[in-house]
Amino acid sequence: MGSGDGEPEGRGGPAARLPTVAVVGRQNVGKSTLANRLFGRREAIAHESPGVTRDRIELEAEWRGRRFRVVDTGGFAARARGVDTLVARQAELATQRADVVLLVVDAQTGEQEEDAALARRLRRSRAAVLVVANKVDSDRDEADAARFFTLGLGEPVAVSALHGRGAGDLLDRIVALLPGTDAQEGLEEDDAEPRFAIVGRPNVGKSSLFNRLVGEERSVVYEDAGTTRDAVDAVVSWPDGQVRFVDTAGLRRPSRTEGVEYYGYVRAVRAIERAHVAVLVLDASEGFTAEDRKIAARVMETGRGLAVIANKWDLVEEKDRTYKEMVEAVAVFSGASVWRTSALTGAGVGRLPSGLVDLHERWGRRVPTSEVNRVLSEAQDERPAPGGIRYRYGTQVSAGPPTFVLFGGRPPPASYQRFLEGRLRRAFDLGGVPIRLRFRAKRPRGGGR
């Protein structure tokens, strides 16, 4: 072992040449629990060796084919004395030598003096920095992570080290920031392309529509196994780039005669969960049925974008009336659009690629905080919230689907939430995209300007 400031040798030294990720933060925010969750539980740790002090541990890890070294440091104290001074020094050294720094904060206690002090130092760091808001154990707690925007280090990543929530997303973010990682290098291919799932009732023309979308372009790149059993994804090259159709095996192979409806529904649910956008195919001659509504509702619950395809349009007799009724029925599902097609003749199919890619872009759209607050203010001026509540500050905390946190009051009645969602959707062109709203009674410290 070298001097107190030297690099650990690991196993013959190779670990020293790996990209380094430093985990820093004040005491009791869950740094070591986070490191163990991200790497130990996935059995990705190649070796674990003590560093030069008892408070600095180094781990060699691997995620999506990228190997890197993780330095888990002791707790930082703003006014460190005695042994805490040595601990702080080790954390400082780890930060200076890191390629990526994880600033771990406690979402339940909120921003503390030590968090702000570390953030000020890290804003001057050459390393990429991610704020990791730990102890976000459920969707209800996601709003707590938004408070750490005030640290000035970008969007916080919400995780629960104890339960593993958000661990995979955090690892993806880390890998994307490692040296030598291009925009999508290090991610699996099915994370690199927009992902679409074609779903719908039996015999509505899903397979024919898929074959039109792929066959007319004559541009299938390859097919490869998906993450669900018997699923085959098709990756297709469109003018705007490659896209992935999820679980297309279920669209093109005959189903078993027993349990067709049940297994078809299970497969559709799995495909929706793996996709970014669900393409719901209807039989236009039968209208928007109760079963179609159930599928659309599931898409909304899962947080995916929704495109509705009225297929077999050539069989519809009263086209104007039918289309108007269908548009009105579908509008309640996040203002989704209705495209009219005939997979048999190919009519209307040519407009789908650009329309679907555009919908995917909206699903992953991020909106500047200043614009969110402008729309929020105008909406409340037009229609004040019940009970005299005034939401003074809003910000988007995540995309895919767009999720916004509004500060200043408790959640309003469902009707007013729908009003705010509608104003945000119209202002930012989020038709067909579910919007998540979170509410916090107190305004974030230092936020709003």
State whether 396 and 323 are in the same domain: no
CA nearest to 444, candidates 25, 109, 110, 104: 110
Query: CA 38, CA 311: separation in Å to the nearest integer?
Result: 45
The answer on pLDDT for 438 being more than 50 is yes
Tens-place pLDDT, residues 7-66? 433 333 433 468 889 888 888 888 888 877 766 543 333 334 333 334 456 777 778 778
Max avg pLDDT among 127-141, 145-159, 271-285: 271-285
Q: Which 8-state DSSP code applies to residue 6?
A: S
Nearest CA to 132 out of 152, 148, 110 is that of 148
107 and 221, same domain (yes or no): no
Bridge partners, 233 (sequence order): 224
Q: Is residue 449 part of a domain?
A: no
Q: Do 202 and 343 share a domain, yes or no?
A: yes
183 in a domain, yes or no?
no
- Asked, for residue 122, whether it belongs to a domain, the answer is yes
Six token digits for residue 173: 């973010």
Number of C-beta neighbours around residue 410 at 10 A: 10
Evaluate whether residue 139 is within a structural domain: yes
Distance (Å, whole) CA 366 – CA 403: 9
Q: Report the CATH number that the domain containing residue 140 is assigned in CATH.
A: 3.40.50.300
Ordered strands of the 436-440 beta sheet = 393-398, 403-407, 436-440
Number of domains in the chain: 3
Q: How far apart are CA 328 and CA 335, in angstroms?
A: 9
- For 262, residues 6+ apart whose C-beta sits below 8 A from its C-beta are none
98 and 129 belong to one structural domain:
yes
Domain that holds residue 379: 369-440
Residue 389 belongs to some domain of the structure: yes
Q: Are 340 and 368 in contact (CB under 8 A)?
A: no
One domain, residues 220 and 355: yes
Assess whether 281 and 395 both reside in one domain.
no
CB 395 within 8 A of CB 405: yes
- Assess whether 72 and 52 both reside in one domain: yes
Helices 113-122 and 83-97 pack at an angle, to 10 degrees, of 40
Same domain, 262 and 340: yes
Provide the pLDDT for residue 17.
63
Out of 340, 363, 386, a domain closes at 363
Q: Which of 363, 392, 417 is the last residue of a domain?
A: 363
Same domain assignment for residues 326 and 401: no
Indicate the Cα dihedral angle 181, 184, 186, 187, nearest 10°. Answer: 160
pLDDT (0 to 100) of residue 215? 65
Describe the crossing of helices 369-382 and 414-427 by its angle, rounded to 10 degrees: 130
> Which tens digit of pLDDT belongs to each residue from 13-23?
433 468 889 88
Same-domain pairing of 202 and 351: yes
- C-alpha atoms less than 13 angstroms from C-alpha of 349 in its C-beta half-sphere: 22
pTM for the predicted model, two decimal places: 0.58
Which of 316, 343, 363 is the C-terminal boundary of a domain?
363
Residue 90: name the closest of 65, 125, 53 by CA. 53
pLDDT digits (tens, 9 = 90+) for 353-406: 999 999 999 999 999 999 999 999 999 999 999 988 899 888 888 888 999 989
Residues 65 and 120 in one domain: yes
Domain presence at residue 286: yes
Residues 324 and 213 placed together within one structural domain of the fold: yes
Helix, strand, coil shares of the chain, percent, nearest 5, are: 40, 20, 40
